[in-house]
Amino acid sequence: MAKPLIGRDLIAQLPKSDLHLHLDGSLRLGTLIELANERGVKLPSRTPEGLLELVFKRAYRNLPEYLKGFEFTVACLQDAESLERAAYELAHDCRAENVFYVEVRFAPQLHVRGDFRVRDVLRAVCRGLERAKREINAAPAVKAGAVPRFEAGVIVCALRFFVPAFSEHYRAYFEALPTAPADEIYALASLELARAAVAAAEQDGLPVVGFDLAGQERGFPAKDHQAAYQLAHEHFLGKTVHAGEDYGPESIFQAITDCHADRIGHGTWLFSRKHVRDKSIADKARYVEKLVRFVAERRITLEVCLTSNQQTIPELRGDLKKHPFGRMREARCSVTLCTDNRLVSRTTMTDEVEKAVGAFGLEPRALKDVLIYGFKRSFFPGSPRQERDWVRSVLNCMEDVFLKAGLDVRTGRRPG
């Protein structure tokens, strides 16, 4: 049997990024157990094998079951020490497989307790990332310029929907506003979070680079969070929105038009006419066609998470080729591969890229383009000149890795 042009060993060596990476979904399993023991958090099992069988599965019946595991991880991340540790370990885990850039996202309001406020939560996570960065970038190869620097940013997540039981912070909203409609409470919470994110970036100097909206799409429109996104937009934070994962093309359109989205988390149903539910849209095919063109022309990057989509969308499990990633590329959309949740999805960036190469037949040049989009479309926490120099160093490294494997990224063939 002929050796595949792009094998797992090569993929592991290639520089990668991860722009859609949830902190609370990416703990080390051993760390989760240790933190649970220390903090009195009850888990369904106290062994890694038991948790993998009962909670962090290979496949889930639906998105709510997939999200169940976050109850346990969030419960273990309720203080500065645990958050700093989780961020620190995550950075090292990513760099160990040649992921040179991560944007770690999470919902700080889930971690607020007493005097431990949103900006304190952000400081703790950033301390962990910065400590890991210092250690990683102190390596001789990095200092000599032979290997790119490791960089990281933080994206804060607002929630489309929450209930008082989600956290002490969210409970306070309902107690303070007992007669307010729920959608107004969600909007107030996201606006407060946007203000905290801006203050953390501009006053505290933290690498808070973006704003996100996560949670159930159906019945909880992004438009409710328009004020928060407008504030983030006015202060030049990057904007991304979970959209088109649990709802159809209209959700993606709303994220772009009402929330100024620069990127879309997942975007899985971008092409799906059957998921267009707005009855005022008579010509669904035309609507989808125009939306796809809009996304492609404006380079609104789609953060594709293959494994987590397979786990929560039954029709993708048996045949990954049904995933719209291939159509996204054919439509000339800007796409990048991401893990979503390293623990909950039991995946790595190497796994995600390997799946894409196998299912969609990516040749070296195509793979290079997909990987480099992750760096070019990042919310890099530095000046434009610093970003250009850094992306150039990543590209040089990528081309060197391909060359050592005997591959010409211009033609996608082996020389000779």
Catalogue the active-site residues.
245
**What element of type H or E holds 11?**
helix 8-13
CA 56 – CA 224 distance, rounded (Å): 32
Q: How many CA atoms lie within 13 A of 321 on its CB side?
A: 6
Q: Is 130 exposed, middle or buried (0-12, 13-18, 19+ CB in 10 A)?
A: middle
CA 111 – CA 389 distance, rounded (Å): 36
CA 310 – CA 318 distance, rounded (Å): 8
CA 356 – CA 360 distance, rounded (Å): 6
How far is C-alpha 376 from the geometric centre of its chain's CA atoms? 15
Cβ atoms 136, 143 nearer than 8 A: no
CA 167 – CA 74 distance, rounded (Å): 10
DSSP state of 227: H
Q: Is 158 exposed, middle or buried (0-12, 13-18, 19+ CB in 10 A)?
A: buried
CA 200 – CA 65 distance, rounded (Å): 33
Cβ atoms 185, 174 nearer than 8 A: yes
